[in-house]
Amino acid sequence: MSTQNIPLLKALVGRMDYLAQRQSLIMANIANANTPDYTPQDLKPQSFAGLLDNAGVTLARTNPAHMAMGGAPGAAKTQDWGSPWERAPDGNAVILEEQMVAASETLQDYNLATTLYQRQAGLIRTALGRQ
């Protein structure tokens, strides 16, 4: 059985790939902190709904009295690094503190995704009778 047949595992693998690419861009931003006229780059935020759509998981409304399916009431706030509020005299827009916070958040998100993946795989092994 392939993990690509299980929507949750497929979504977690996609999330881990996204976070690995984001971490690479953040590290490139840090590496170019002294490069003149360098503008930091970041990936577009990954939407959880889009990730579920790609994984094949859909919400089901089983009763007309249930709440309508729509967007989340509190959407995540994102930071646009394309228009930084601070530039060095040489034109560099990398703010090291900001990049270090983003790297730390990305690492925490990656650790969460790997933990969820391990737990889900453990549940599957238990269901199959293998521990």
Kindly report the pTM of this predicted structure.
Answer: 0.69
Range name among 23-32, 57-66, 74-83, 114-123 with the lowest pLDDT average:
74-83
**pLDDT tens-place string over residues 24-58:** 999 999 999 999 999 899 988 877 666 566 655 55
Residue type, 105: E
Over residues 8-30, the mean pLDDT reads: 93
Over residues 63-67, the mean pLDDT reads: 74
Q: CA neighbours within 13 Å on the CB side: how many for 14? A: 18
Over residues 102-118, the mean pLDDT reads: 96
Is the separation of the CB atoms in 106 and 22 below 8 Å?
yes
| Lookup: tokens for 26 | 């953040």
Is the separation of the CB atoms in 24 and 99 below 8 Å?
no
| Confidence label for 62 from pLDDT (cuts 50, 70 and 90) | confident
Q: What is the mean pLDDT of the chain?
A: 81
Residue 16 belongs to what H/E stretch? helix 7-31
Q: Sketch the domain layout of the chain as residue ranges.
A: 1-28+95-125
